[in-house]
Structure 1
Amino acid sequence: MGKSSRDKRDVFYRLAKEGNFRARSAYKLIQIDEEFDLFTGVFHVVDLCAAPGSWSQVVSQRLASDKNEGERAVKIVAVDLQAMAPLPGVVQIQGDITKKGTAEAIIEHFEGKSAHLVLCDGAPDVTGLPDFDEYVQAQLLLAAFNIATNVLVPEGTFLAKLFCGKDVLVLLSHLQKFFKEVVIAKPRTSRNSSIESFVLCKTYCPPLQYVPNIDKSLLGSPELLDSPHPRFPFKACGNQISYDSDTTYPLQLEDSTSYEYREPEQAPISPPYAHFLSLQHNHKIRTLH
């Protein structure tokens, strides 16, 4: 597939390059923020499963805006299993959020429960088996949430990717035990064909008997048993007359400008195909034309 056809495939992929974002997922967070105003009064943020760093870029821009300027010191901690190219003002931790050592390193940066917002845009490599993929995604979300309960300030916010499968109400009802408001958000950047949504949990208020424990599974907590399964609001995020991620657009989006190909803002720094690129660079592999 050539570069032009790749650009034509996804309008948000192209917009991300034009906006100097590392990935199209930046617009998912932007659209959710436009709907729910995530960053007002926020100064300390944890970005879990952050690579390649598009959400951290959005966070950096939002926290540097006039509404937060000069009030308190900003702290952004980005965490991912994969290496990530540096971002100004962002502390990076490379590790697996399901591992105790990584969780402890994150908690150490937010001693005294000082994080106002915890984000997680992580997802497993899907297998095509819906039940299995949804289960693994739920475990990843719970690992992120377990970290959140150790660092969030009272009335803090948690936002994470969610696969809306048949058992999603069980997971949401557990989250509702810890927050006053739980909403499912679907940004227009997320394709309609995808089961991906985002769960937004606002106003952190855990049960009185709950004691955060990084070694303990949240689903195994006695205070979470026999949770009800209420209905949860679903909110589509993004301007309804804006671009649609399921639509193919012409390369020239505006009449006043002509299309120009742009390289990605940040190429992968340690891709699994690095050895192949090295061989190709040394002319040991002949490319087909």
Structure 2
Amino acid sequence: MKEAASVSKAWKNRQQNDPYVRRAREEGYRARAAYKLLELDEKDGLLRGARVVVDLGAAPGSWSQVARRVLGDGASVIALDLLPMEPLPGVTFLEGDFREDAVLAELESRLEGRKVDLVLSDMAPNLSGIGPADQARSIDLAELALAFARDWLDPSGHCAVKVFQGAGFDELLTDFRRTFSTVKVRKPAASRAESREVYLVGAGLA
């Protein structure tokens, strides 16, 4: 119990001292993750000219917020997550497991045949604490996001997917390079230094 309390206290202290957490509160974003997407957009122009955006693993919604704020009312933003998400004006939200065929079919029906300009995936597995198993689940989710992008992305579109460095990463990176003309590995400043997370950013279907 003491160890759990100590971890909780350390987490609270880190949150209170985190400049991105403070900035998110001040600027009305639901999570510090907003600044990861804003930096990716600044470097790679992800949102430039996008009219249809799909945000996988969206809850609590900060990436959808960024997309809506940057693109305005003329764009369609479709968000999906296993967890519930408080409604966001101008964002269509689907609650469900992206790994299930029925959920994927519902997402595809919402597209109404439109190609997607930007596929975003900040999905992460529920952590079990068993490192190899958690890493495998992370890679699996990233592969599913990449498969969706192959099927639905406009040839000139972008795809940005979170993944954790470790087993399976090199193979996933190879798959990205086979799929896209340009691939970048990004570690945004808002990504915690101790985290193994990076973002694979693909542009232009090969």
The residue number in structure 2 matching 1:55 is 63
Amino acid in the other structure paired with 1:33: D
**Sequence identity of aligned pairs in percent?**
36
Please tell me whether residue 137 in structure 1 is matched to residue 145 in structure 2: no
Structure 1, 143-152 or 79-88: larger mean CA deviation: 143-152
Secondary structure class of the residue paired with 2:84: coil
The residue number in structure 1 matching 2:189 is 188
Q: CA deviation at 1:112?
A: 3.1
Please tell me whether residue 17 in structure 1 is matched to residue 18 in structure 2: no
Could you say which structure has the higher helix fraction?
2
Secondary structure class of the residue paired with 1:192: coil
- Asked if structure 2 preserves the Cα contact closer than 8 Å seen for 1:110 and 1:151, the reply is no
Amino acid in the other structure paired with 1:20: G
Distance in 2 (CA, whole Å) between partners of 1:40 and 1:200 is 14
Q: Unaligned regions of 5+ residues in structure 1, if any?
A: 206-289
- Asked if structure 2 preserves the Cα contact closer than 8 Å seen for 1:113 and 1:152, the reply is no
Q: CA deviation at 1:14?
A: 1.3
The residue number in structure 1 matching 2:164 is 163
Residue correspondence of structure 1 range 106-117 to structure 2 within 5 A: 106-117=107-118
- Asked if structure 1 preserves the Cα contact closer than 8 Å seen for 2:47 and 2:71, the reply is yes
Distance in 1 (CA, whole Å) between partners of 2:14 and 2:131 is 27
Would you say how many aligned residue pairs link Structure 1 and Structure 2?
198
TM-score using structure 1 length: 0.64
- Asked if structure 1 preserves the Cα contact closer than 8 Å seen for 2:136 and 2:167, the reply is no
Distance in 1 (CA, whole Å) between partners of 2:173 and 2:13 is 39
The residue number in structure 2 matching 1:34 is 42
Please tell me whether residue 204 in structure 1 is matched to residue 205 in structure 2: yes
- Asked if structure 2 preserves the Cα contact closer than 8 Å seen for 1:119 and 1:158, the reply is yes
Distance in 1 (CA, whole Å) between partners of 2:19 and 2:136 is 31
Q: Unaligned regions of 5+ residues in structure 2, if any?
A: 1-8
Q: Point out the structure with max Rg over C-alpha.
A: 1
- Asked if structure 1 preserves the Cα contact closer than 8 Å seen for 2:159 and 2:202, the reply is yes
The residue number in structure 2 matching 1:119 is 120
Structure 1, 53-62 or 145-154: larger mean CA deviation: 145-154
The residue number in structure 2 matching 1:78 is 79
Higher relative contact order (CA 8 A, sep 6+): 1
Q: CA deviation at 1:8?
A: 3.1
Amino acid in the other structure paired with 1:134: Q
Could you say which structure has the higher strand fraction?
2
- Asked if structure 1 preserves the Cα contact closer than 8 Å seen for 2:36 and 2:189, the reply is yes
